[in-house]
Structure 1
Amino acid sequence: MNDITKAQYEYVAQPCRNFNILGHTSIIDPWDGREKYVLSNFALGATGTIVFIDVLTGDGESFVLPEGNGAWGIVNWHDEKLVIGTCVDQAYLHVFDLKTRHWAEPLPSVGESYFWQLTIGSDDKVYGGTYPGCSLMQYDPAAHTLVNLGRVSDNAKNLYTRPVYGQAPGYIIVNFGFDTNGLKAYHIDSGTFLPFSTPGAAVREINEKFICTEDNGVLAFYDPKSLLPIEDNGYTEQLKPKAVTLPNGQKIPFIPLNNNRLAGFRGQDYFIIDAPPSKSDYEKPLDIKLKPIPVKAPETEVFALAPDNGGHIWGASGFGQTIFRFNPTTGEYWNSSSVCNHGGEVYGMVFVGERLFMTSYVGGDHIVYDPNQPWDQLNNVNPKSLQSVGPDLIRPHGRSVRGPDGGIWTGWWAKYGIYGGGLSRIDPETMEVDSWYDPIPGQAISGLAADGNYIYFTTNGHANGLEARRDICCHLAIWKPGSGLIHIEKLSQGDEPNSGLCAINGRVAASIGGQIRIYDTDLRKFVLDIPVSEECEWIIKLDDRKVGAFCGTTLYEIDLLSGKTSVLSELPGKIRAATITDAGDIYFSVQTTLYVLKHSI
């Protein structure tokens, strides 16, 4: 291998800016005595923030967390402290003193990556669920201590505890999942976990009269003090609305404010409205005016990249369901509002002519956007959501490619708690969507590629909400549009494909473990195995016989015919996304930063 560096990357910009609000609450701010709507903002690749919005004036303030990206958990502890949980790599608990505007020393939850929702128990302590330990955590605001109370579920395959509820006196009610789903009740005085409700049930509402659970549409009621079943007694009619309805029919959760008002958020916007006069009015479209969050959006991780035919670079945010456009000539950039009604992020980005076709998690969404037309996502005009493959398929981990038939093809993972995957195809002329569930039964699509003849995909044992299976044989598959699977190459057990996959003229470069393996589609076998320094998560086509393989902090150039390999460039870090323009310029991202490698091909 030739280790002579041929080119040097250049810093371009940090063009991806968005909010990703995951939690909200309200306070009477001791700083000025005014009511504030508080948003917990997650910034993947950067540091999370909390945003205060004055409910009368609309003025905003932003405070940066001491550490971590941010997360779902936020509670107001007596208008004295805000308690906030974070993720992704390490779960932290942060406490913000509202009087002093100072952060307490961060408290890590050892061994946990995520904090989910938080709640205040009847003992005035704060409780929260975690991933991957399926634990219940307890925070003591008086002592500023964090304690792990243990696993909630006896099933070792369950990794999640979310959400949690503290309204039942003496108990914390906890959901767990996703191999099996259910509820446990943590008895605060005895420190024990008790079975509660039916397997698969989730909490609908808890108040001083009842606990209501729902299981497959069936409601059940329990006494909040004893946890024993009770009769309905008209409680169904007393259930509070959980959401308001936007003019487009979308349901948006809310929290109550003082003076009979409600607050909620949607993507990059928020609203404050008077509460509807009756329960039935919550089901009707309301005259809700969305307002931009009134502070500057932070830079966030660049998760996907694609060039258009006008010299712009487009990308997607790592979380928050937005996209951006960057002009390399002027340095100007634009960031969108939400591209669809679901949360998550865009994985696949493919231009066909002037239109951008996208696929996104978590709703299994297919989306088309015309940059030359006015933005009107709220009415599903532009961008327009097409037929979804959810709920069976939800994460387009294989990303999207233009197939030899002109369609946009995407590789998917199955829904939470299920091993499996699938393919989908958008017809860019008719906007029709076709899909194929589980072409390799029980395996997710890890990578996707296409050449002039076929679609290629690799599979592995990963899944949403479950530990990856390592006891299976993964595959490289060849799919012919209009016909389906025409060949399956079974890999040896332990040979697990990564995301990197690229096809050029009958040869396929596949990232499998610590190698780039070259497959000949005519011979139907692997013909070259090329060791690389680190696992490869991204491979791009450089020309009609060469690929660029991003392996850790090294970009390799690999000739698929000869196997000749050289170092094209060292990299500033592990990349998240990469693309190449018609001129041969390679754009790639490391967390929030966009770089370019000027490389004439």
Structure 2
Amino acid sequence: MKRPYLAWTVCLLSFCSEFGTGPPCRAAEIEDLGVAVRAVVFGNSQGCLAESPQGHPGMFYIPYYSTTGGALVGIDPRSGQHVHIPLPSQGGYGTAVGADGALYVGGVSPGDLYRFEPSTGKIENLGGSRFGGTYVWACAASPDGMKIYAACYPTAGVLEYDLASRTLRDLGRMSPSEQYARSIAVDVLGKVWVGIGTHADLVVYDPQTEEHRSVLPQEYKHNSCAYDVYASGDHVFAELLYDHKHLIYDTRTEQPAAVLGQPPDGLSYMAARGGKEGCFYFHATLSGTLYRYRVGQPEPEKLAERLGQVAVVDGDRYAYAIDDQDFVLYDLTEQRALVRRKLAEARDGMALFSLAAAGDGKIYGSTYINMHMFSVDPQTGTIDDLGKALRWGGQIDSMHGGRDGKVYMGSYVHAVVSAYDPTRPWKIGTDRDSNPREIGPVGSGQYRTRSITLGPDGRVYVGSIPSYNSAPTGAFSRVDPESGEIRTWLDLVPGGAVDHVVADEHYLYGAGGGKLFVFDPEQAKVVLTLDLPVSALVLAPGGRIVGTGGGKLFVFSPSEMRVTHTADNPLADFTHMCPAPDGNLYGINPSRIGRIVAETWQVDEVAAEGGTFLAADQEGRLYFGRGSHVLRLSLKQ
């Protein structure tokens, strides 16, 4: 529901007096159109089974993350009972069940450990962030359930909570140089296995001696992270990013007993909790296929397809899974879903991550880490959560409304490029008729996209960066949406990362590393490079390229191949800019929204408050983000 946020008049007499042009006064009305997307993130969270508040066994619990506050949620699939326990943090990732029947939840911002007692509904903050952690990535219980261990970021440390003494202590860093203790498991001997990143290691901590040692063979240490560590019987599983090899360790020798490759229908195997000793259950990322692996088998066996993120397998029969926002209970014997139910939504939504105007007249956008995209109908002001736009976890980092009417997107993780046609039905996938259609990762170790545009040659151009030690440099990539062919350049700007890119009918204009460059798609090379800091870039009506950076506004003329105008920007650098139907340009930063008057290139203030991202509809109204909300600014002469 839209509601007036602020209505006021900004008189620009001071600007007009200074610059000598522009209207004497403009009225600006800002409306809060509401929360764009309330979808939460379960993708990093561990699920577990514990008693319900009524004492019934088998309630499924899992925490979620949201930029506006997280919670622990639980569902009893047999009775239908549902619980929602707000956490005093942005979310929870790790969970473990103690011998006392309580759930222990690792917090995210702050990185505290919480204890939830189902019988009383009470949640207690046990602390932990005082030791320097902001995330608790994963939790595990000792074999007797009397100790809870938590893996922390950015200390690469482990916390230990002793149920008997009710004390929490910091066991210290498990790596002298890394930040991520990303996953954790406790084996049958009580030893604590910790997955380390972003330079991979697997460390075993012995509570008896209070010493820790690396057990990851050198041949695997070029990876980013030892991930998803899980113990079953006499063995421990660990996945390696980015080789996507999966090691099965013998806990007594602390040596790999088996190495599994990638699943046939996915990127990697992710361990689910549960199963008999010596038996692992995995879901394949991307496909959601569930596999079972018995130690000694050559390969895992397929059990069921498209289940999503399988968190727990109970009694070797029931799979407890998360499929985007839905909880699914699947019977592996009967091969059918017994329960499917939406599990939670964010109290105040998820933070916006991109905005773009498209050819159908709507504004499209994305939100942080839940891979959802949304649309705004300018005629009604209503916002529609279109759903999860890709098979991957993560978010749409960058978005562009192409002249062909499609919306082009670049996404974290693996810098995946996709295209959405608003005129066709929604059907995500990789097939030719999928919509949005996943074209593919750009490769070269790229992980996050910074910019995307449709070039004059009908191909998509993407600026990207690596992450988590995935590559040494950023990149500029060309993606053919028809053939899927990808070509990548790593050295167009210092560091390789192209943060901004726009296109006209002849060239592409990119910026990064303190450089502005002109790229000729016919020659597939840079034809001009200038030393120029750029914080935002836009194609102006009339064909000029306008940007801000270093406190300046600049105008580049493609016909003259030079910067023809430079001036101080009285509103400071913009983070995003867009053209509008009135022929002018508009820019935004956290504290201001400004107008750049066409041809004179003079800057005036239209709102003494700001936000993030910026797009204009066909009537000239401006859309921007503030937290999880979409706001709309209407200008009147």
User: What does 1:46-61 align with in structure 2 at a 5 Å threshold?
Assistant: 46-61=68-83
Match for residue 137 of structure 2 among 99, 116, 129:
116
Match of 2:626 in 1: 590
Q: Secondary structure at the match of 2:577?
A: strand
1:72 aligns with 2:72: no
1:36 aligns with 2:59: yes
1:480 aligns with 2:524: no
Task: Identify if the C-alpha distance between structure 1 residues 321 and 290 changes in structure 2 by more than 3 Å, giving closer, same or farther.
Answer: farther
Q: 2-side partners of 1:552 and 1:459: how far apart?
A: 21
User: What does 1:60-209 align with in structure 2 at a 5 Å threshold?
Assistant: 60-66=82-88, 68-78=89-99, 80-88=101-109, 90-105=110-125, 107=127, 109-110=129-130, 111-122=132-143, 124-141=146-163, 146-155=168-177, 158-178=178-198, 180-199=199-218, 200=220, 202=226, 205-209=230-234
* Matching residue's letter, 2:62: L
Match of 1:260 in 2: 317
1:221, distance to aligned residue in structure 2 (A): 6.1
Q: What is the TM-score with the length of structure 1 in the denominator?
A: 0.81
Bigger RCO of structures 1 and 2 (CA < 8 A, at least 6 apart): 1
Match of 2:340 in 1: 291
Match of 2:592 in 1: 554
1:550, distance to aligned residue in structure 2 (A): 1.8
State the Cα deviation string for residues 113-147 of structure 1 (Å, max 9, x = none).
33212222357332223333333333445666554
1:442, distance to aligned residue in structure 2 (A): 4.0
Q: 2-side partners of 1:436 and 1:230: how far apart?
A: 36
Match for residue 25 of structure 1 among 35, 40, 48:
48
Q: 2-side partners of 1:288 and 1:596: how far apart?
A: 42
Match of 1:300 in 2: 350
| Root-mean-square deviation over aligned CA pairs | 3.7
Q: 2-side partners of 1:78 and 1:536: how far apart?
A: 55
Contact 2:328 2:338 in 1 (8 A): yes
Match of 1:327 in 2: 377
Q: Secondary structure at the match of 1:388?
A: strand
Match of 2:362 in 1: 312
1:269 aligns with 2:313: no
Q: 2-side partners of 1:26 and 1:175: how far apart?
A: 23
1:544, distance to aligned residue in structure 2 (A): 8.7
Q: Secondary structure at the match of 1:105?
A: strand
Q: Which 5+ residue runs of structure 1 have no aligned equivalent?
A: 278-285, 461-473
Q: 2-side partners of 1:275 and 1:73: how far apart?
A: 26
Task: Identify if the C-alpha distance between structure 1 residues 213 and 95 changes in structure 2 by more than 3 Å, giving closer, same or farther.
Answer: closer
Contact 2:95 2:104 in 1 (8 A): yes
State the Cα deviation string for residues 524-550 of structure 1 (Å, max 9, x = none).
458525356666432223469743232
Q: 1-side partners of 2:191 and 2:15: how far apart?
A: 62
Match for residue 443 of structure 1 among 482, 486, 496:
496
* Matching residue's letter, 1:340: L
Task: Identify if the C-alpha distance between structure 1 residues 426 and 186 changes in structure 2 by more than 3 Å, giving closer, same or farther.
Answer: same
State the Cα deviation string for residues 11-66 of structure 1 (Å, max 9, x = none).
2221322132131222221434142222222112x111222121224453322222
Q: 2-side partners of 1:424 and 1:559: how far apart?
A: 33
1:354, distance to aligned residue in structure 2 (A): 5.2
Match of 1:409 in 2: 461
1:372, distance to aligned residue in structure 2 (A): 4.3
1:228, distance to aligned residue in structure 2 (A): 4.4
Contact 1:518 1:529 in 2 (8 A): no
State the Cα deviation string for residues 133-163 of structure 1 (Å, max 9, x = none).
33333344566655443332223xx332211
Q: 2-side partners of 1:231 and 1:91: how far apart?
A: 34
Match of 2:427 in 1: 376
1:594, distance to aligned residue in structure 2 (A): 1.0
* Matching residue's letter, 2:64: N
Task: Identify if the C-alpha distance between structure 1 residues 532 and 395 changes in structure 2 by more than 3 Å, giving closer, same or farther.
Answer: farther
1:597, distance to aligned residue in structure 2 (A): 0.8
Q: 2-side partners of 1:557 and 1:486: how far apart?
A: 31
State the Cα deviation string for residues 272-323 of structure 1 (Å, max 9, x = none).
122369xxxxxxxx65588342445542222222334444332212121111
1:592, distance to aligned residue in structure 2 (A): 0.9
| Further displaced range: 54-63 or 213-222 | 213-222
1:262, distance to aligned residue in structure 2 (A): 1.4
1:358 aligns with 2:402: no
Aligned length: 563
Task: Identify if the C-alpha distance between structure 1 residues 563 and 332 changes in structure 2 by more than 3 Å, giving closer, same or farther.
Answer: closer
Task: Identify if the C-alpha distance between structure 1 residues 549 and 369 changes in structure 2 by more than 3 Å, giving closer, same or farther.
Answer: closer
* Matching residue's letter, 1:245: T
Match of 2:33 in 1: 12
Identity %: 19
Match of 1:455 in 2: 508
Task: Identify if the C-alpha distance between structure 1 residues 459 and 217 changes in structure 2 by more than 3 Å, giving closer, same or farther.
Answer: closer
Q: Which 5+ residue runs of structure 2 have no aligned equivalent?
A: 1-11, 17-24, 259-276, 291-303
Contact 2:193 2:203 in 1 (8 A): yes
Q: 1-side partners of 2:538 and 2:129: how far apart?
A: 40
Contact 1:10 1:597 in 2 (8 A): yes
* Matching residue's letter, 1:12: L
Q: 2-side partners of 1:192 and 1:485: how far apart?
A: 55
* Matching residue's letter, 2:400: V
State the Cα deviation string for residues 515-571 of structure 1 (Å, max 9, x = none).
555555535458525356666432223469743232221123235765522222122
Contact 1:207 1:224 in 2 (8 A): no
Match of 2:289 in 1: 245
State the Cα deviation string for residues 70-119 of structure 1 (Å, max 9, x = none).
1422223346332222335x433333222221222373524443321222
State the Cα deviation string for residues 478-505 of structure 1 (Å, max 9, x = none).
212232332464648xx6x54x322335
State the Cα deviation string for residues 164-214 of structure 1 (Å, max 9, x = none).
222253422112122x21112222234333222313364765333234556
Task: Identify if the C-alpha distance between structure 1 residues 535 and 77 changes in structure 2 by more than 3 Å, giving closer, same or farther.
Answer: farther
Q: What is the TM-score with the length of structure 2 in the denominator?
A: 0.77
* Matching residue's letter, 2:453: V
Contact 2:442 2:477 in 1 (8 A): no
Task: Identify if the C-alpha distance between structure 1 residues 249 and 444 changes in structure 2 by more than 3 Å, giving closer, same or farther.
Answer: same
* Matching residue's letter, 1:169: L
State the Cα deviation string for residues 302-359 of structure 1 (Å, max 9, x = none).
2222334444332212121111223344454332332221100112333445543322
Q: Secondary structure at the match of 1:9?
A: strand
Match of 1:434 in 2: 486
Contact 1:80 1:99 in 2 (8 A): no
